[in-house]
Amino acid sequence: MRAHFVLSEIGVGLRRNVTMTLAVIVSVALSLALFGGSLLARQQVNSMEDYWYDRVEVSIFLCNANDAESGDPACSRGAVTQEQKDEIEAELLEYDIVEEVYHESAEEAYEHYQEQQQESPIAAVVTPDQMQESFRIKLTDPTKYDVISSAFAGRPGVQSVTDQRSLLENLFNLLNGVNYAAVGLMLLMLVVALLLIVNTVRVSAFSRRRETGIMRLVGASSFYIQLPFILEATIAGLLGAVFACFLLVGVKFFAINNFLAEKIPAIEFIGWDHVLSVLPLILVAGALMPALAAFFALFKYLKV
Amino acid sequence: MIRFDNVSKTYPRQNAPALYDVSLEVERGEFVFLVGSSGSGKSTFLRLILREERASTGNVYVLGKDLGRLSNWKVPQVRRQLGCVFQDFRLLPNKTVAENVAFALEVIGKSRGQIRKTVPEVLDLVGLGGKEERMPGELSGGEQQRVAIARAFVNRPMLLIADEPTGNLDPQTSVGIMKLLDRINRTGTTVVMATHDSQIVDQMRKRVIELERGRLVRDQSRGVYGYQH
C-alpha cells in the first residue's frame, strides 16, 4: 500500500468537487453540533431537575382577613385561627414524608415580596395584612404531593395547597419538548448529511471512472480502489465534526459562560467537563458515519 | 492458458445469448485472432476472460483458475497476470507517459524502486524511450497505443488481451503495433486479439477463431480473415 499514491488521489478528489465537499462538511457540522447540543441539553435539564426538585416545597396558604371579606369560597369560614394553625402544624409533623415544616408569617411574606418585586409598582401599594401566612413544607419525596394536598385542601382556614413541583414540571416538560424537537431536527440533518455523502462519493467515483476502470483492469484490489473515496468522505466528515466541536465550545464559552451564567445565576449550567466529554463522541461519529456511508455508496458502484 | 467448456452467456433481459455453447482451448504462447462482425460475441468472449462477466452456463478457465468459482476478492490476483489493450487506449490524460505506466504498478502496491526500474525498461521495449515525460495528448494514436501496451505489459503478464488495438489507427501505424504485439508474443506471452482488420489477419497467418451470432463457427490454425464485411 503506497500512502503517497492514496493521499494524492484524495487531494485530487476533494479539490475536484469542492462545493459538494463543503456541503458535506457543513451538513455534518450542523447535524453533529445538534447531536452534541441535544446531549448537553439533556444533561442540563437533568441537572436542573435534580437541583430544583431538591428545593421545591409544598405550600399551604392560610386564609387572612382579606380573603374572608373578599368572598373567597375557601375562606368563607373566616380568617385562620391560631388553633387551626397549631392543629395543621402538629398534623404535618406526623407525616413520614414531611422532612421540614416552615411557617411563614404575613410579615415575612411581605418582606420577601418587597425584596423580590422591588421595581414593581404593585409592591408599593401592597400592605402586610394583604399577604398570606403559609406553611412551607419540604417533602422527602417531592412526588408525594397528593398526600398533603388531599389531607389539607378544603380544611377550615386553608385557602389553597400548591405544589411548586407542578409549576416546574411544566417548565421541564417544555424544555424536554424543545430537546426532542432538537433531536428530531438532528436526525433530519443526519439523513441529509448521509444522503449528501452518498451523492458526493458517487459523483466523485463517477468523475474518476477512468482511473478506477484502469485500476480494476490492472488488478488493483477493491479495497485499494475504494480507499481514497472512503478516506475522502472521512476527512470531510472529520472536518465537519471539528467545526461542530468548535461550535459547541463557542456556545459554551460565549452564550453560557459569558452571558447566561451571568444573567441567570440561579441556574447551575453544565460545566466544561460535560462539554469536553461530548467532543470525542462527535469526532468519532463524524469520522465513522461518512466512512460507512461511503462504503455503502461504493458497494454497488465499484464492483469488481 | 484459456479453456472454454460449453460456455454460454445470456445478458439479463435479453433473449438471444451473446455467446452460445463455445468450447475451445488456447495454449500457452499462442497468438490468436478473434474475428466476427459486430455483435458476434467477441467482446463478451473477452469480458469473460477478464472476469468482467460470468458465464451463464459452462466453465471458463484462465491461467488454471475456474473463473466461475473464483470469489470476487481473488479476481484482482488473476487480473494482475493479464494485460489488456483497447481500441480507445484508455490512458489518463493528466498523467505523463511514464506516470500512466507507473499507475498500473502503483495501484497494485509495487515499491517505488521497482517502478523506477521497470517503467523505463518497458517504455524502451515498446519504442517510446525518451518520451517518458510527454503527455498522452501530445502523442500520435500509434504512440498512445504503445503506451497502453507498455502499461499492459509492464507486469510481464502471461496473457495479453487486445480488443481491436488497431481499430483507431491507420494501416501503416497498425503494422507497427502488430510487430510490437508479435514481439511480445515471442517472449512467451499468449496474445488474444479481437479485430476487424482483414489485412493484418491475412498477413500474420496465426490461429483464427471466428464467432457468428455467439457461436464458434471457425477455429483454424494459420488462418485468414475469411469473410467479407
Average pLDDT along chain A: 84
Nearest chain B residue to A5 by CA distance is B106
Distance CA A74, CA A65 (A): 12
What's the pLDDT tens digit per position in A58-108? 888 888 877 777 777 777 777 788 888 888 888 888 888 888 888 888 888
In chain A, % of residues over pLDDT 70: 98
Residue A287, pLDDT score = 93
> Could you tell me if A255 and A12 are in contact, meaning their C-beta atoms sit under 8 angstroms apart?
no
Pairing of β B57-62 and β B215-220: unpaired
What's the pLDDT tens digit per position in B23-78? 999 999 999 999 999 889 999 999 999 999 999 999 999 999 999 999 988 999 99
Nearest chain A residue to B103 by CA distance is A215
Phi-psi sector, B130: left (phi>0), alpha (psi -120 to 50), beta: left
A220 to B107: CB separation less than 8 angstroms, yes or no: yes
Q: Which residues of B touch A225 (CB under 8 A)?
A: 107
A220 to B151: CB separation less than 8 angstroms, yes or no: no
Q: Which of A5, A213, A219 sits opposite B80 (nearest CB)?
A: A219
A215 to B109: CB separation less than 8 angstroms, yes or no: no
B112 to A2: CB separation less than 8 angstroms, yes or no: yes
Rg (alpha carbons) of chain B, rounded to whole number? 17
Please, what is the Cα angle at A164 between A159 and A168, to 5 degrees?
145
A16 reaches B (C-beta below 8 A)? no
Nearest chain B residue to A212 by CA distance is B107
What's the pLDDT tens digit per position in A209-243? 888 888 888 888 888 888 888 998 999 999 999 99
Secondary structure letter of residue A76 according to DSSP: T
Burial of B228 (0-12, 13-18, 19+ CB in 10 A): exposed
Extended strands (E) in chain A: 58-62, 98-104, 134-139, 158-163
* CA dihedral of A171, A175, A181, A182, whole degrees rounded to 10: 160
Nearest chain A residue to B49 by CA distance is A217
Residue A2, pLDDT score = 65
Burial of A108 (0-12, 13-18, 19+ CB in 10 A): middle
Over residues A275-280, mean pLDDT: 91
Half-sphere exposure of B168 (CA within 13 A, CB side): 15
B77 to A214: CB separation less than 8 angstroms, yes or no: no
Residue B99, pLDDT score = 94
Query: Is the ipTM above a cut-off of 0.90?
Result: no
Stretch among A8-22, B64-78, B95-109 having the lowest mean pLDDT: A8-22
Q: Which residues of A touch B109 (CB under 8 A)?
A: 1-2, 224
Which residues are within 8 A (CB) of A22 and not within 5 positions of it... i.e. 6 or more apart?
none
Q: A interface mutation test: which of B106, B115, B144, B158 has the most A CBs within 10 A?
A: B106
Q: How far is CA B82 from the centre of its chain?
A: 8
A217 reaches B (C-beta below 8 A)? yes
Distance CA B182, CA B172 (A): 15
Q: Which residues of A touch B78 (CB under 8 A)?
A: 219
| DSSP codes of every residue in A144-213 | GHHHHHHHHTTSTTEEEEEEHHHHHHHHHHHHHHHHHHHHHHHHHHHHHHHHHHHHHHHHHHHHTHHHHH
**Nearest chain B CA: its distance from A209 CA (Å):** 11
A274 reaches B (C-beta below 8 A)? no
A214 reaches B (C-beta below 8 A)? yes
Phi-psi sector, A145: left (phi>0), alpha (psi -120 to 50), beta: alpha
Q: Which of A5, A210, A303 sits opposite B92 (nearest CB)?
A: A210
A217 to B80: CB separation less than 8 angstroms, yes or no: no
Higher pLDDT, residue B83 or A166:
B83
Q: Which residues of B touch A211 (CB under 8 A)?
A: 92, 103
Sheet holding B190-194, edge to edge: B82-86, B159-163, B190-194, B31-35, B207-212, B215-220
Beta bridge partners of A137: A58, A101
Residue B228, pLDDT score = 52
> Could you tell me if A296 and A230 are in contact, meaning their C-beta atoms sit under 8 angstroms apart?
no
Over residues A122-133, mean pLDDT: 80
SS3 B206: coil
Distance CA A201, CA A218 (A): 23
A265 reaches B (C-beta below 8 A)? no
Three-state secondary structure along A128-160?
HHHCCCEEEEEECCHHHHHHHHHHHCCCCCEEE
| Cβ atoms within 10 Å of B1's Cβ, excluding its own | 19
SS3 A229: helix
Q: Which of B50, B79, B109 sits opposite A2 (nearest CB)?
A: B109
Nearest of A250, A181, A257 to residue A29 by alpha carbon: A250
pLDDT over threshold 70, residue B229 = no
Phi, psi of B209 (to 5 degrees): -115, 125
A2 reaches B (C-beta below 8 A)? yes
